[in-house]
């Protein structure tokens, strides 16, 4: 059982989400889109594998905007559309959720404010998306694609939607203290200063609450696999590109 994990930048990992997918029997094939040396010039050439080669696709966050619509973003949108049409389950996180919404006919727009830190959600489906708190790190939000059902929201953005076997979440269930610190060390500290939050405090809070953060992520992945992905993973035994 194989899952394609689209890692957009070298600072990010699948974290708690990848950990739970592995525990549930998935072999994770990571595809790094933008290598470290191209972080500031991310318009790279990427060959994405065929969606049908996998039983599941996980697409993570990114420091760039889907609105950039460069060659690899367009290629990823095509991959996500192909997966959706083929019934391959997709879980999109933050940028990944915005890309999924765009691929399925929605879009993105600027959020009314940059959201950085912990947020509780209003959820219509607590069995799928709990109220949190969940960690947020985004300045844009998606516009729901046709036929999608919104599952959760807060005062800044739609926070979760489902469309067939495709599921997008705006928050970061995967984030670990090490990854969050790396984001701040790279360019997130400037964003934190602009919105008036303390990076050290956020990392400390994440570390202190790590057992609960991990538990919420595990419940979320289980809900995705059991209720959204449906009858179970495809074999995913075809050829593929690996990171």
Catalytic annotation, pick one of 94, 138, 163, 205: 94
**Could you give the percent of the chain with pLDDT greater than 90?**
94
Catalytic annotation, pick one of 19, 76, 140, 174: 174
Mean pLDDT for the chain overall: 94
Residue 46, Cα to own-chain centre: how many angstroms? Answer: 19
| Tokens coding 137 | 């790190």
Q: Residue 240 catalytic?
A: no
Q: Residue 94 catalytic?
A: yes
Pairing label, strands 27-34, 56-59:
unpaired
Arithmetic mean of pLDDT, 202-209: 97
DSSP state of 48: P
Q: What is the pLDDT of residues 91-109, one digit of tens each?
A: 999 999 999 999 999 999 9
In angstroms, what is the C-alpha Rg of the chain?
A: 16
How large is the greatest C-alpha to C-alpha distance in the chain, in angstroms?
48
Arithmetic mean of pLDDT, 192-209: 97
Q: What is the pLDDT of residues 32-64, one digit of tens each?
A: 999 999 999 999 999 999 999 999 999 999 999
Q: How far apart (Å, rounded) are the C-alpha atoms in residues 20 and 123?
A: 22
Catalytic annotation, pick one of 8, 76, 172, 205: 172
Using pLDDT thresholds of 50, 70 and 90, give the confidence band for residue 221: very high
Residues 142/146/147/148 CA torsion (nearest 10 deg):
0
Whether the pLDDT of residue 233 is over 50: the answer is no
């Amino acid at each position: 059982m194989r899952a394609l994990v689209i890692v957009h930048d070298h600072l990010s990992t699948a974290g708690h989400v990848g950990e739970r997918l592995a525990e549930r029997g998935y072999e994770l094939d990571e595809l790094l889109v933008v290598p470290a040396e191209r972080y500031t010039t991310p318009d790279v050439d990427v060959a994405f594998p065929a969606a049908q080669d996998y039983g599941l696709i996980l697409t993570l966050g990114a420091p760039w905007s889907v609105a950039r619509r460069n060659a690899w973003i367009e290629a990823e949108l095509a991959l996500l559309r192909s997966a959706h049409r083929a019934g391959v389950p997709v879980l999109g996180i933050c940028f990944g959720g915005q890309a999924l919404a765009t691929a399925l006919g929605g879009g993105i727009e600027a959020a009314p404010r940059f959201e950085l830190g912990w947020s509780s959600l209003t959820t219509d489906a607590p069995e799928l998306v709990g109220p949190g708190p969940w960690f947020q790190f985004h300045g844009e939000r998606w516009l729901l694609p046709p036929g999608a059902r919104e599952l959760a929201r807060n005062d800044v953005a739609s926070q979760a939607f489902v469309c067939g076997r495709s599921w997008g979440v705006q928050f970061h269930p995967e984030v670990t203290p090490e990854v969050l610190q790396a984001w701040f060390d790279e360019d997130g500290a400037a964003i934190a200063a602009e919105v008036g939050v303390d990076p050290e405090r956020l990392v400390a809070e994440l570390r202190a609450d790590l057992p609960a953060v991990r538990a919420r992520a595990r419940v979320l992945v289980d809900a995705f696999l059991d209720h959204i992905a449906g009858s179970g993973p495809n074999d995913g035994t075809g050829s593929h590109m690996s990171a």
